[in-house]
Structure 1
Amino acid sequence: MTKTTPKFISISENIIERIKSGELQPGDQIPSENELIKNFKVSNTTARKSLLDIESKGWARRIKGKGTFVLNRTSDHHLIRTLGSIYATRRGFHESLIAEGFKPKNLVLEKTILQDGISSEIGGKHFIIDGPVLKIHQLRYADDEIIKDEIKYISLTLCPRINKMPTEISYFKVYESTYHLKIDEVKQTLSVEIMPPHASENNFELTEATAMFILDSAVVCQGHEVVEVERSYYRGDKYKFAIIANPDYNDSTTEG
């Protein structure tokens, strides 16, 4: 007589297969208890047991008040940064690392106000922020290892007193929720260069030449006002980049 597989196991195995196939990436939120109830027509007890089974097998972790997220189980612990994903951008670097199972830390190298503003060329287009502008230069850590060197410039005209906020926040989320800015465009370009250990911009404590991803980005509000410009270096031996084509900014459901 064949033993029937419990329903909660069937559901958990379905989601684990989605993780293994790459449909659900490290840091992605897996379906909630309510979504499982609706999609699989099961009780809340069965849905809860499914989530617990996924977590107990080491594929995901529940973060209280936020949901259950896919853990990073890659052998080399490469982090995934998704370009074109408003969800990932809105979640921010700090929260993304926690969701993937890493311990984040920031080291602020510079935090100052520039009265004259800044200009940056990204993808052949100039993006200008009139002063005053907040400049934040910080190193981003995952499990005590530097993986990102980040410089942000933020409009203090559009976001007054944002310089009083902690630097581990998701600034994109703050633009929307605190300052009620309507984001019209996020312009991003990605390039690669080899950083020698003696380079002046090497803040990674590296002793060998290492490939670096360089991400230049600008966040533009309605009315063509630029709220943020960023230039960041990502360690090429720690990151993989993915791209979402033609995202729907209003309906997208990501990084760092």
Structure 2
Amino acid sequence: MEKKGAIEPLATDKAKFIALSELIIEKIKTGELQPGDQIPSENELIKTFNISNTTARKTLLEIESKGWARRIKGKGTYVLNRTEDHHLLRTLGSIYATRRGFHDSLIAEGFTPRNIVLEKTILQDGISSEINGRHFIIDGPVMKLHQLRYADELLIKDEVKYISLTLCPKINRLPTEISYFKVYEVNYRLKISEVQQTLGVTILEPNTTNFELSKPTPAFVLDSAVVCTGDKVVEIEQSYYHGDKYKFAVIANPDLAQRSSSSITS
């Protein structure tokens, strides 16, 4: 008996890998797979569709050769950004997207990322922020990191993070392009229990921000707090996203509805 999901029977004039590649490309076209999402690996395709190693490998190569995906050595195959004007899609409420980090997400989508650090200092006093009607506080010392994020030489994010040096000692010695969320989990063994996020909109005026603007331009303002076990706040962030280059999506998880782990405010 064939495994559920097998692609047999196929039209006789089509090879298995052509049919499967078209199936996955259709998922990309319909938005089921978003830019930066990882396409199932060879082993996953073999298990799901009951195909050979060769067919699985050819499937991924076919998707890549048609310009829908990019294989990153040692990491996998990722959906490229083919949106009009290369709009970047970011998903609020997605732990997977948060864990992967901004830098790696750009690479996965086919962009060349670059960071410029404007400030990296240690604040002895704490920091607080109000998000979703709640106050989040990090006691000092705190690392403040202010950096500009570029994709293909275009400034797309002006980012400020505050990170607890009590929970993450010496994190200020690490490179700034890392996924801090992943570092919290792996390096410091912190169990993330909650990510609070709000998304607002503002208008940036020329010559008043780090964005090189020739006219008033809309920008998204993202406020977030990362909380670990014991209601300890490990990170607070406030970032500005270039409004002309971004679209945001939201993941709604019914199991977490009562906790309101992520929301959008206007």
TM-score relative to the length of structure 1: 0.94
Distance of 2:148 and 2:134 partners within structure 1: 27
Partners of 2:59 and 2:29 in 1: CA distance: 17
Give the aligned partner of residue 163 of structure 1. 172
Q: Shift of residue 83 of structure 1?
A: 0.1
Give 1:124 deviation, angstroms.
Answer: 1.2
Query: Residue deviations 1:103-146, cap 9 Å, x none?
Result: 00000000000001111111111100000000000000000110
Q: Is 1:134–2:143 an aligned residue pair?
A: yes
1:234 aligns with 2:248: no
Partner residue in 2 for 1:244:
251
Contact 1:85 1:247 in 2 (8 A): no
Unaligned runs of 5+ in 1: 250-256
Give the structure 2 partner of residue 5 of structure 1: 14
- What is the match of residue 223 of structure 1? 230
Partner of 1:253: none
Q: Distance in 2 between matches of 1:63 and 1:3?
A: 33
Q: Which residue of 1 aligns with 2:183?
A: 174
Matched, 1:147 2:165: no
Determine the C-alpha separation between the residues in 1 that align with 2:116 and 2:244: 21
Q: CA–CA distance in 2 between the matches of 1:31 and 1:15?
A: 9
Aligned-partner Cα distance in 1 for 2:254–2:66:
33
Aligned twin of 1:254 = none
Relative to structure 2, which stretch is displaced further, 133-142 or 122-131?
122-131
| Structure 2 residue matching 1:218: 3-state secondary structure | strand
CA distance in 1 between partners of 2:255 and 2:97 (Å): 13
Correspondence for 1:23? 32
The aligned counterpart of 1:212 is: 219
The Cα of 1:3 is off from its aligned counterpart by 5.1
Equivalences, count:
246
- Runs of 4+ in structure 1 off by over 3 angstroms are none
How far apart are the structure 1 equivalents of 2:254 and 2:157? 25
Residue 206 of structure 1 and its aligned partner are, at CA, apart by 1.0
| RMSD across aligned positions (CA) | 1.2
- Could you say if the C-alpha distance between residues 247 and 181 of structure 1 is closer, same or farther in structure 2, counting changes exceeding 3 Å? farther
Partner of 2:75: 66
Change (3 A) 1:179 1:101: same
1:14 partnered with 2:23: yes
Contact 1:61 1:69 in 2 (8 A): yes
Cα contact 1:84–1:247 (8 A) shared by 2:
no
Deviates further, 240-249 or 42-51: 240-249
CA deviations on 1:178-206 (whole Å, 9 max, x unpaired) are 0000001000000001111132xx10111
In the alignment, structure 2 segments of 5+ residues that lack a partner are: 1-10, 257-266
Distance 1:103 1:248 in 2: 36
Say which of 117, 141, 147 aligns to 2:126.
117
Q: How far apart, CA to CA, are the structure 1 residues paired with 2:237 and 2:106?
A: 19
Matched, 1:78 2:92: no
Identical columns (%): 76
Distance (whole Å) between structure 2 residues aligned to residue 9 and residue 97 of structure 1: 28
Offset at residue 75 of structure 1 (A): 2.1
Shift of 1:247: 7.1
TM-score (norm 2): 0.91
The answer (yes or no) to whether the contact 1:94–1:104 under 8 Å persists in 2 is: yes
Greater shift after overlay, 66-75 or 240-249?
A: 240-249
User: Amino acid of the residue matched to residue 55 of structure 1?
Assistant: E
Structure-1 residue corresponding to 2:7: none
Q: Distance in 2 between matches of 1:28 and 1:44?
A: 22
Aligned to 1:36: 45
